[in-house]
Amino acid sequence: MRRDWKERLLSKGILVLDGAWGTEMIKRGLAPGECPELWNFNHPDDVRMIARAYKEAGADIILTNTFGGSRFKLKRSGISSNIKEINKKGVELSREVCGDSLVFASMGPTGEFLKPLGIVTEEEMVACFKEQVEGFVEGGADGVIIETMTDLDEVKCALKAVKENSNLPVAASMTFNRGKRGYATIMGITPEKAAVELEKTGADIVGSNCGSGAKDLTEIARIIRPAINLPLWIKPNAGVPLLREGKTVYPETPEEMARFIPDLIKAGVSMIGGCCGTTPEHIRLIAKEVHSYIDIAYKNLKTVIKFSNQSGLPG
């Protein structure tokens, strides 16, 4: 089967995404303050095992251990060399164990703010993401996922970097929280505004991840769906995190989370996985549940106008 996300989505109706990486790495011994991306070299077996566990759980798209792999972010861990290699290696590790699943390389926030809020210019931000993208291409990624973003202008820089430096399809996913006036990023951007802008800027897939659990992400999906003509990507956390005995705990069990799957699919989601606190067991149950709603999923694809102009949509 060709490693093409559109073909895969058209043939399956819905794609299952992987679950959390950060919380899985913490379980395997990642210490507070330790740089996760260095595990690509220091603990490659652990990184492969996380990817393989999601593959075996039924994920069609596996991400990579490159979320914080930008120069700006790595600098905070004292790393200023081999940026491209760190990102390339992250993609290679997922590729080695993903079988026929696709690998979407993860790109998270840089931690820096654009002018005038911060000190970074747009050109500098694009150049920072470019290094990651070059590593993704060399590592053989099938796509890029820009995720957990809260600044729309930063996502646009990341999109630009992907478009200018690769032919890879790109998903853009932002994090929203519920406030008094509805959902918005911490920068005040609503899901609707974000989705429209991201489609305009050239994203192939638009979505939301992290921030809250499946219940809130279902609401966010309902807001985004009518605003765009692209497939919708959703990765909720395993519930809203609680502090128990000084530790952050994500309370939703795989069974509890899987119960939201019908609502998410009815809300028009075409790609479903998990963010913080989700495990291979969450993804296994999500994958199982998803398969009962394939008919609705195909209907969802038909509402995605641009996308369904491609030939091959069943029915």
Give me the residues that bind Zn ion (CB under 5 A), please: 210, 275-276
Closer CB to Zn ion, 73 or 130, in the complex: 73
Q: Which amino acid is at 95?
A: R
CA distance 276 to 130: 26
CA distance 135 to 140: 9
Q: Kind and range of the H or E element at 246?
A: none
Closer CB to Zn ion, 57 or 83, in the complex: 57
Asked if 205 and 228 count as a contact pair (C-beta separation under 8 A), the reply is: no
Strands (E), the chain: 15-16, 61-62, 102-107, 143-149, 170-174, 177-179, 182-184, 205-209, 232-235, 242-244, 247-249, 271-272
Min separation Cβ 23 and Zn ion, Å? 8
Closer CB to Zn ion, 137 or 158, in the complex: 158
Closer CB to Zn ion, 275 or 286, in the complex: 275
Hey, what are 57's tokens? 């759980």
Closer CB to Zn ion, 20 or 125, in the complex: 20
Say how many residues make up the chain: 315
With 0-12 CB in 10 A as exposed, 13-18 as middle and 19+ as buried, what is 113?
Answer: middle
Closer CB to Zn ion, 24 or 92, in the complex: 24
Residues 6+ apart with CB under 8 A from 303: 225, 268
Asked if 200 and 238 count as a contact pair (C-beta separation under 8 A), the reply is: no
Closer CB to Zn ion, 126 or 234, in the complex: 234
Min separation Cβ 237 and Zn ion, Å? 5
- Reference 90, options 55, 42, 146; nearest CA is 42
CA distance 73 to 310: 38
Q: Which amino acid is at 4?
A: D
